[in-house]
Homo-oligomer: A and B are copies of this chain.
């Protein structure tokens, strides 16, 4: 899901699969909940259920970190919380800057899970001079002019881009030039970055479109499985049916003028 380079360019070192890394935060969250309830140990089966994955996968994932379980017993919750935190690099506090303090940027700044667990909002940056000095989530917004200074003096290596799409690439370049090497991009654009910089992308409309695809598929199946689609499904049926049954080869007749922009 990272849009940037494939990563893992230099030393291959001890390679934890990317898919596993992506699940560690999930396990960590489930474990933290158990820890708060003072549960001492947990089996792979239980923890897997809490994290929404299957237990074989969870055990394989943990096997990449080492042998932290006890056969016949399970995993020590506290110990595992520590090991995963350490593996993820959360035993230190990462200063983060958020660029673009619109609706979304403000929402991110206010997001609680941010401040806790390893991350600290070091600065909020916006291009609008009218925003400068305004407090958002208890932090005064600073102007984009300060960007390089902020990054360098705070040793920021993680940046969050919540600007409009048009500004994202430029902001990205300034962040990278100033020393940021990991970017979380909320702007609906593909960012181009040099090697060694990681980009992850969060994109609302992409997620919705993926859901729409499956939703359409469901409507299509419903229609072709039993002949009696209900409610709105009726309206979708014709359209969806066409999509499902349409031949795959070449222009199939009804090319409409243009799509909605």
Could you tell me which A residues sit within 8 Å of B by CB distance? 1-3, 7, 10-11, 13-14, 21-22, 24-26, 28-30, 32, 35-36, 50-52, 65-68, 78-79, 81-82, 85-92, 94, 96, 102-104, 106-108, 110-111, 113-114, 116-119, 155, 157-158, 179, 181-184, 188, 190, 192, 196, 198, 200, 202-218, 220-221, 224-225, 231-232, 236, 239-240, 243-244, 247-251, 255-256, 258-261
Contact = CB atoms under 8 A, between A and B. Distances in A.
26 contacts: A3-B52, A11-B224, A21-B214, A22-B210, A24-B213, A25-B206, A32-B261, A52-B190, A66-B247, A66-B249, A78-B258, A87-B243, A88-B209, A89-B215, A94-B208, A104-B111, A113-B204, A116-B261, A117-B205, A117-B260, A118-B208, A158-B211, A182-B212, A184-B211, A196-B218, A200-B211
Nearest to A1: B1
Given A25-B205, A208-B96, A215-B158, A225 B184 contact: no
Contacts of A244: 13-14
Of A91, A248, A258, A259, most buried by chain B (CB within 10 Å of CB) is: A259
A184 to B, nearest CB: 5
Q: What is the total number of copies of this protein in its complex?
A: 2
A90 to B, nearest CB: 6
Of A22, A36, A79, A110, most buried by chain B (CB within 10 Å of CB) is: A22
Contacts of A118: 208-209, 212, 260
B205 A119 contact: yes
Nearest to A159: B211
